[in-house]
Structure formats: structure tokens, C-alpha cells
Amino acid sequence: MSSFHHELIRRNPGEPEFHQATLEVLETLAPVLAARPEIAAAKLVERICEPERQIMFRVPWQDDAGEIHINRGFRVEFNSALGPYKGGLRFHPSVNLGIVKFLGFEQIFKNALTGLNIGGGKGGSDFDPHGRSDAEVMRFCQSFMTELHRHLGEHTDVPAGDIGVGGREIGFMFGQYRRITNRWEAGILTGKGLQWGGSHARTEATGYGNVLFTAEMLKQRGEDLDGQQVTVSGSGNVAIYTIEKAQALGANVLTCSDSGGYIVDEKGIDLALLKEIKEVERGRISEYAERRGASATYVPGGSVWDVPADVALPSATQNELDGDAARTLVRAGVKAVSEGANMPATPEAVTVLREAGVAFGPGKAANAGGVATSALEMRQNSGRESWTFERAEGELAEIMRGIHATCFETAERYGAPGDYVVGANIAGFERVADAMLEQGLI
């Protein structure tokens, strides 16, 4: 296996996040490969690490002053054994092929764990929406979709949002798709507006799902979220709805953050104020402390993981919680850490937390609620239905309980009780591998 990963690094140079994400999965597969020689013989690990298709394209657009910009667009269609490629689009200056491949690779297993029929893909651009006007964002989205549209289809590839892509961007992209194709095809994107094919609870789903997954992990240990001190990083869509659900379950959420620093609010985060600043004004969290009063402090720079907590929910971005941060959390007595973002804990952090016996929810399992609710949106679209919030949220809760049970039972079956990393990787892998075995050499 290590010689294969060596070869993978050689063939995919300059993509450290992709190397990290693949190694983390490969390291846990030994027991399933030993138990199932037909999987090794069919070279399924090697096949799954190679994307089915990778698309890169030019995205030219003009800013409000008339200046021309050229960004790069990506869509990596990684695996469609279980269903159409499914996964978000990320607009952030850090986006490159390696980042999109790491996200697409994770998405394969995450989507498999939901138990629904969705394959894995991811895309995006190195476009930076920060500080851009609505008109600039619209022109960018239209240019991006002008190329991407030819690759989409409800049975082929169905993107959604991720960092930098929310309801506004999905709207602009859907409008351009419709205009180019002259077809009102709800099923080509998820995360749509509620009046035109979107699903209730999709906006909330990733954060809500991670909190539900955390509650299931705590329940295994005879605890719940009521009265727990919780720290959350980030202040985007995932962080906001993580805070909302954690508060609803009785937790005291102390923190949020952005790339400039973090907020500690001893009275608990005022979610209405945070939503106003982030969702309406699209501002910075430093403003939160200015407007909240004495209970809140803004700490520029620094690490949000320095704040002692019972439960830590990293909800910002990859590799935001390193080995030192994990040790700090363990010293402060953290009981559970669960990944709302994709791969926020570094490999060293994961080792520290697992060795300390902390309940650790890997993103593939813990943050799968977003994409699962996207699949519910696809189901509503194909039946021309529109479910109530209660129904969509109820199905989400059921799916999260199912993912937790699958990971828990799989870890036990493979001799690693309580290890959700092993459980998630093996259960996700086996479902995809079995589908590929049955479908021939693909």
C-alpha cells in the first residue's frame, strides 16, 4: 500500500491536500483488504484514487471598473459508481486542482455513507468573492456556468455550494444554465431558492447534521449536549447552523471565527447578530464584538482552540486544527471533536485526539448532512414535490442517525470499537468498492 501511495504522490505532484486525504483513507483499509482479497485483486483502491474525469477551464470576466480578470474553473468528476457526480463548488483564492481533488475524494466516501445514490465530485474556482459587488459576482458566475453547463445533468453531475458559494451564487448559475439551454431543469444544481426547486433545511443541513452526529457520539458515552461548553470555528454557513442547532439542544456556544481572528462570548453567541453581520451585511466578525457589548471579546489572530471546551466543532476549512491545538483541547478536557468542515483536523491532530480517547467525528460522516439533504432536494425535484421543513429535517435526522450507526458498527466489526475514522472509511469504501466490482472493469 505504501508503495502505491508513493506512486500516487509521484503521479500527482504539488497536491499535498490530495496526498493527505488519500493517505488517511488508505491507512485504515488494511483490515478490509485482508478480509476481502477480491477487492485487492480488482485493484479497487488504485482505481478509486484515479478520478473518472477532470475538467479545467478559463473563466474570463469584467469587474465594475471594466478591468478584465481571468480565473480558473475546475470540476473533478471523481466516481459515479453509486449515482451522478455530486459535490459542491468552492470559490476561494486557495482553490487549485489538488484542493478540488482532495475534496472530491472525500466526497465519494461521504456520499456513500449517506446510503443514497450519489457519486462523488467537486469543483470551484480560485475566484475571490470577498469585496466584490453583486454585479461582479453575477458576471463571474455567468462566465463560470457558460463553460460548466455542458458537463451537468440531473443524471450526470449535480453541483451545489461550498465555501464562497451560497444561495446568491447558485441563483446566478441556475439562471445562466437555464438561459443557455432553454430548459428549466431543477435537478442540475442543489441549494436552490425555495421558490424554484430548493429544499427546506438544505441551508441548515450541514451544521445541523454535524450537531446531530455529535449528539449521537455523546449518547454512546451516556451524555448529551445540554449544558456543554461548545467552541465553533468559522462564521460561514456551516458554523452558523452548527451554532443554531447546538444552542437548540441546550449547549452554550462560546466562539466563532474568521480568517482575521476569533470571538469569545461568555454569554453565548448572539446568533441573530452574527447572522445579520455575516448573512445580510457580508461583514467581518470583528464587528460582532463592537456591537455585542461587554460579554464578547475579539481576539485578532490566535487560535480559537485555546478556549477551553467540552465539545469542539471545527467548521471553517481544511487543516485549521493542528497537533498543538489538539493537545491544548485534550489538556482542557475536551470530550468530543466533530468536523463540520472538510478535513479541518490535521493527521497529527486526529492521532492526538484518538489516542486521548476523545470521541472524534470525521467530516466524511459528521458533515454529510449537507450533501444528504442535497440528495433529498434531488428526490423532490424528480418527483416535482416540495416537502415541509419538518419532513426534510426529519429525514436528515434519520440519515445522520444511520450514518452514526453504520460507522459505529463497522468500526466494531473491524476490531476498532469507538473509532469513527476507521468506521467511516471502511463503510464508505466498501459500498463504492462493491458497486464497482459488480459493474465490471470501470
Report residue 344 CA to chain centroid gap: 10
Q: Please, which of residues 125-154 interact with ligand GLU by CB under 6 A? A: none
End-to-end CA distance of the chain: 21
CB of 225 to ligand GLU, least distance (A): 23
Among 22, 190, 228, 235, binds ligand GLU (CB under 6 A): 190
C-alpha cell at 413: 466489526
Query: Which residue in the list 86, 101, 110, 122 is annotated as catalytic?
Result: 122
Tell me the per-residue interface mask from 85 to 124 with ligand GLU, x by CB under 6 A, - otherwise. Answer: -xxx---------------------x--------------
Task: For 219-343, list the strands marked E by DSSP.
Answer: 229-232, 252-253, 255-258, 261-265, 296-300, 311-313, 336-338
Parallel, antiparallel, or unpaired for β 255-258 and 261-265? Answer: antiparallel
Nearer to ligand GLU, 32 or 89 (CB): 89
CA distances (Å), 186 to each of 11, 180, 199, 307, 387, in order? 38, 14, 11, 43, 15
Among 176, 210, 242, 374, binds ligand GLU (CB under 6 A): 374
Q: Please, which of residues 29-88 interact with ligand GLU by CB under 6 A? A: 86-88
Nearer to ligand GLU, 160 or 186 (CB): 160
Compute the distance between CA of residue 212 and CA of residue 64 in angstroms, rounded to an integer.
43
Nearer to ligand GLU, 22 or 373 (CB): 373
Binding range to ligand GLU, per CB under 6 A, among 72-80, 250-258, 369-377, 422-430 = 369-377
257: β partners: 262
Nearer to ligand GLU, 261 or 363 (CB): 363
Nearer to ligand GLU, 86 or 139 (CB): 86
Is-catalytic flag, 43? no
Ramachandran quadrant class, 333 (left: phi over 0; alpha: psi -120 to 50; beta: rest): left
CB of 315 to ligand GLU, least distance (A): 12
Name the residue whose CB lies closest to ligand GLU: 88
CB of 75 to ligand GLU, least distance (A): 12
Q: Please, which of residues 342-361 interact with ligand GLU by CB under 6 A? A: 342
Q: What are phi and psi of 232, to 5 degrees?
A: -125, 135
187: β partners: none
CB of 333 to ligand GLU, least distance (A): 30
CB of 98 to ligand GLU, least distance (A): 16
Q: What is the DSSP letter of 151?
A: G
Q: Please, which of residues 217-256 interact with ligand GLU by CB under 6 A? A: none
Helix (H, G, I), strand (E, B) or coil at 71: strand
Among 29, 48, 230, 371, binds ligand GLU (CB under 6 A): 371
Nearer to ligand GLU, 110 or 132 (CB): 110
Nearer to ligand GLU, 200 or 335 (CB): 200
In our burial notation (b when 16+ CB lie closer than 10 A, e otherwise), range 422-437 reads: bbbbbbbbbbbbbbbb
Among 123, 234, 370, 423, binds ligand GLU (CB under 6 A): 370
CB of 42 to ligand GLU, least distance (A): 27
Question: How many degrees, rounded to 5, is the angle at CA 26 between CA 305 and CA 15?
Answer: 70
Look-up of cell digits 456556544 = 253
Helix (H, G, I), strand (E, B) or coil at 299: strand
296: β partners: 265
What is the edge-to-edge ordering of all strands in the sheet holding 261-265? Answer: 255-258, 261-265, 296-300
Tell me the per-residue interface mask from 148 to 187 with ligand GLU, x by CB under 6 A, - otherwise. Answer: ------------x-x-------------------------
Q: Please, which of residues 400-429 interact with ligand GLU by CB under 6 A? A: none
Residues labelled as active-site residues = 122
Q: Which residues bind ligand GLU (CB under 6 A)?
A: 86-88, 110, 160, 162, 190, 342, 370-371, 374
